[in-house]
Chains A and B, each alone.
Chain A
Amino acid sequence: MLLTSVILILQETLEAAMLISILAVISRQQQRKVTWLPAGLLLGGILALLYAANMRSISEWFDYVGQEVVNASLQVSIALALVLLTWLVCATGAPGSSGQSRPGPRRDGRFAFVAALTISLAITREGSEIAVYLGGFMQQPDKLQAVLTGSAIGAGIGISFGFLVYYGLLALRGQRGAWLPLLLLGLFCGNMLSQAALQLTQADLLPAGPFLWDSSGWLPENSVLGRLLYALVGYESRPSALEVCAYLLGVSAVLVSATLARVRR
């Protein structure tokens, strides 16, 4: 039970940790406050518990595909929020460049609001799975200790990974330091849209297509590297054409938003 919970909690934590780290780096680069973090964590935690507590009835919505519809809605909302965040970031000053003016207090507030909302939505989906998982062991006291220990280890590794990404990105200087966080934000946005497309395909609300490619032979998704890449950039070994299109749409949306905001500035 211990190892299972380590892997499970780690998988669910990685994605949110990654998103929080990228947003924290962008905030630091623009001398913004990170007040959105505790607010987003709190709101996300509450929403995750609410989602988990109502999982059974939500699953029955829309002829038993309520879970997919809710998850896809969360993912599309996160993607939209990331496009908006990119705009706010790029409209106020080149991230990482020295001698930039500090963003005005009003813009700062808007960024903090959207950032808090974004991470709370990311935590809602991943956190609800953790809550459902742990909730199942509340009636099994004999296994609870192993599960909680494993979960703590998994969460610890996930959070450490977040810090690694955070300090790694902060250490980058110049153009690379400015563009890499934005590019990762774009990949995250693409990942969200492609996951939403997958959820809706699973619910039979979008048509299923053949796999566009199959790279499971040389990089299986259940390998350590495969799972890490899944959390980092949404790696999928057998994606459909629809998922790939959704992914590219998400990446381009962030890049276009960044470019337009800079041109207008």
Chain B
Amino acid sequence: MLLPDRWKHGLTFLLVLVLAGGFVSGSLFAATPVIEIEIRDHLFYPPEVVVPAGTKVKLLVKNLDPTPEEFESYELNREKVISGNSQAVIFIGPLPPGEYPFFGEFYPKTAQGKVLVK
């Protein structure tokens, strides 16, 4: 190749940078952690889930009751209807550490839970 050495070094450096960047971002975006929550008899199982701070998390909420429920949280700014015997996906975060309560809006007396961000 008819390139000056300085250019070659520059290009090699760029290539390494791109590869490293691709690797880092690949590992960052590769897997959004999935956390499963079940609704049974208008209760959340588990009632508390722990998620890492500053990370986007996918909540997979399975409603095993025949009745519909609405997942709602003022602290998380989330709201979603979940039909009976079906499941829903809700993305939350990245969040700063803290406690984020959620509840079932259709049966709020029993359906209570919280996300603990640590």
Chain B residues bordering chain A, tally (CB within 8 A): 30
Please indicate the chain B residues that have their CB under 8 angstroms from the CB of A220 in the complex.
74
Q: B91 within 8 Å of A by Cβ?
A: yes
Q: Do the beta carbons of A55 and B83 come within 8 Å of each other?
A: yes
Nearest chain-B residue to A238 (Cβ)? B77
Nearest chain-A residue to B32 (Cβ)? A204
| In the complex, per-residue mask of A33-66: 1 if CB is within 8 Å of any chain B CB, else 0 | 0000000000000000000000110011001110
Chain A residues bordering chain B, tally (CB within 8 A): 35
Q: Do the beta carbons of A63 and B77 come within 8 Å of each other?
A: no
Please indicate the chain A residues that have their CB under 8 angstroms from the CB of B81 in the complex.
55, 59, 67, 128-129, 132
Q: B45 within 8 Å of A by Cβ?
A: no
Q: Do the beta carbons of A4 and B91 come within 8 Å of each other?
A: no
Q: Do the beta carbons of A208 and B75 come within 8 Å of each other?
A: no
Q: A160 within 8 Å of B by Cβ?
A: no
Please indicate the chain B residues that have their CB under 8 angstroms from the CB of A174 in the complex.
none
Select A208's contact among B74, B82, B84, B91, beta carbons within 8 Å.
B91
With contacts A208-B56, A237-B74, A238-B75 taken as known, whether A136 is within 8 angstroms of B89 at the C-beta atoms is no
Binding site for A on B (CB under 8 A): 32, 56, 58, 66-68, 70, 74-75, 77-78, 80-84, 86-91, 93-94, 96, 105-109
6 closest A-B pairs by beta carbon, nearest first, are A64-B89, A136-B67, A56-B83, A204-B91, A221-B74, A136-B68
Binding site for B on A (CB under 8 A): 4, 8, 55-56, 59-60, 63-65, 67-68, 128-129, 132-133, 135-137, 139-140, 198, 201-204, 208, 210, 216, 220-222, 236-239
